[in-house]
Amino acid sequence: MKAIDVEGLTKVFRARAGDVKALNGVSFSVEFGDSVGFIGQNGAGKSTTIKILFGALTADAGEARLMGLPSDQARARKGVGYVPENPYLYDQLTPREVVQSGLRLHGFRGEEVIKRSAEWLERLGIAYAADKRIRNLSKGMTQRTALAHAFALRPKLLVLDEPMSGLDPVGRKEVADLMQEYRQQGGTLFFCTHILHDVERLADRFIMIDRGKLEAQQSVAELLAAQELMVVRYLGEQALPGFENDGGSLWRAAVAREDLPKALADIQRVQGVTLDVLPQASLEGLFESVVKVKAS
């Protein structure tokens, strides 16, 4: 059984201005224990895929299975944590009520509901506002409430549609740390983001879609390891051939993998300090090249 299994998913939105093919035969799967970043430009079809997985939309063709069950069955969602893009929470409720009702809906009862909700409101940094009404909370606080609601389930699968949106830099770091912890404890993570660095640090694998079609699917480590050129930066008083000044006493150069040992030895010889050696192309480069090729 797979956590997520999508086969030939197709969805057309009919509109007066013309039909929009939001998904055009998308297939992929997510194994238990995987952490997958789902990326693509605005309008690529990410949220549409997730909405179909959670039964909020029906596909025109293809199949979507969540936890081994067809996604239109409510049973498929039991015990699965989900935070949609711009979560809508009843604004008469309080964060505590939202988290507690979510837990009850997923079968938790009694003390466990009280304990878990208190723990996760605290961990998401909104314990201080736990009993205020949602309508009086900021966007970031609402997002934190929705995240607390999903994490509190200690789900086998956690699906987050742009989990960092609406959060300040400190909030982003806190949520990234929680996602990392969840992943290290064996959780299955599937998240949409525009922040490619989050995929590089939080995912084992990424799936890229563009205009409703799957464009690339690869492990992050493989992508980075396949790079032939490495960017080397060092701090030193002496310039080495091939290196250009990067401000003050900083020097940088793109060095072929096979020339790396010599470059590092040269830096040492001139008493420089190597600052970093990083693959030149990143997920960002790949992303841009896919988008550019299709646009031209």
Ligand X SMILES: Nc1ncnc2c1ncn2[C@@H]1O[C@H](COP(=O)(O)OP(=O)(O)OP(=O)(O)O)[C@@H](O)[C@H]1O
List residues near ligand X by CB under 6 A: 13, 15, 20, 22, 40, 42-48, 85
Which residue's CB is nearer to ligand X, number 23 or number 152? 23
The residue among 60 and 85 lying less far from ligand X, judged by its C-beta, is 85
Q: How far is CA 217 from the centre of its chain?
A: 14
State the minimum distance, in angstroms, from the CB of residue 227 to ligand X: 27
What residues contact residue 163 under an 8 Å CB cut-off, 6+ apart?
83, 143, 147, 175, 179, 191, 193
User: 23 or 66: whose CB is closer to ligand X?
Assistant: 23
For residue 112 the two structure tokens come to 């466990």
Rounded Cα gap, residues 157 and 182, in angstroms: 10
What is the 8-class DSSP label of residue 204? S
**C-beta of 42 vs 185, nearer to ligand X:** 42
Residue 195 CB, nearest approach to ligand X (Å)? 12
CB of 46 to ligand X, least distance (A): 3
Give min distance, CB of 129 to ligand X, in A.
27
Q: Which residue lies nearer to ligand X by CB, 38 or 234?
A: 38
Least CB distance from residue 40 to ligand X, whole Å? 5
* Strand ranges inside 86-220, DSSP E: 157-161, 188-192, 205-210, 213-219
Which residue in 168, 209, 164, 188 sits closest to 1, CA to CA?
A: 188
